[in-house]
Amino acid sequence: QVQLGESGGGLVQPGGSVTLSCAAAGFTFSIYVMSWYRQAPGKERELVATVFTAGTTNYGDSVKGRFSISRDNAKNTVYLQMNSMKPEDTAVYYCYRTPRPYGMTYWGKGTPVTVSS
């Protein structure tokens, strides 16, 4: 059974940093492309960042230069380091297993992040 468990969310001050973790289980983590998405109140879910199996990364335009996605295949975990945070980064952040190389997609339950002073 595929499981994705996010952690690390909470209240962050503007300009601050936080790291989210997503612990994966139930599948061969190292062969899957993994992503982080977020959904702000009243908005559609948007792609934040993607990490490919070799470690290469892609980012949404709104987070480029501030966020960093990484993975530790030995720990079956994907991370999202968020720096220089802004109030508009406030959202629920979701871990996502893409269908690459094959199979279904899966979502974690999400972890909320609030950027406020």
Q: What whole-number percentage of the chain has pLDDT above 90?
A: 97
Mean pLDDT value of segment 79-107: 96
d(CA 8, CA 18): 7
And the tokens for 51?
């990490």
Q: What pLDDT shows up at residue 9?
A: 92
Give me the pLDDT at residue 102, please. Answer: 86
Q: Which residues of 89-104 are buried (b: 16+ CB within 10 A; e: fewer)?
A: bbbbbbbbbeeeeeee
The structure tokens listed for 40 are 């702000």
Give the confidence band of 84 by pLDDT, cuts at 50, 70, 90.
Answer: very high
For 58, other C-beta atoms within 10 Å of its C-beta total: 14
Summarised one tens digit per residue, pLDDT across range 23-54 is 999 999 999 999 999 999 999 999 999 999 99
**Rounded Cα–Cα distance for residues 98 and 86 (Å):** 27
Look at residue 103 and tell me whether its pLDDT is greater than 90. Answer: no
Query: In angstroms, rounded to a whole number, what is the distance separating the alpha carbons of residues 9 and 26?
Result: 23
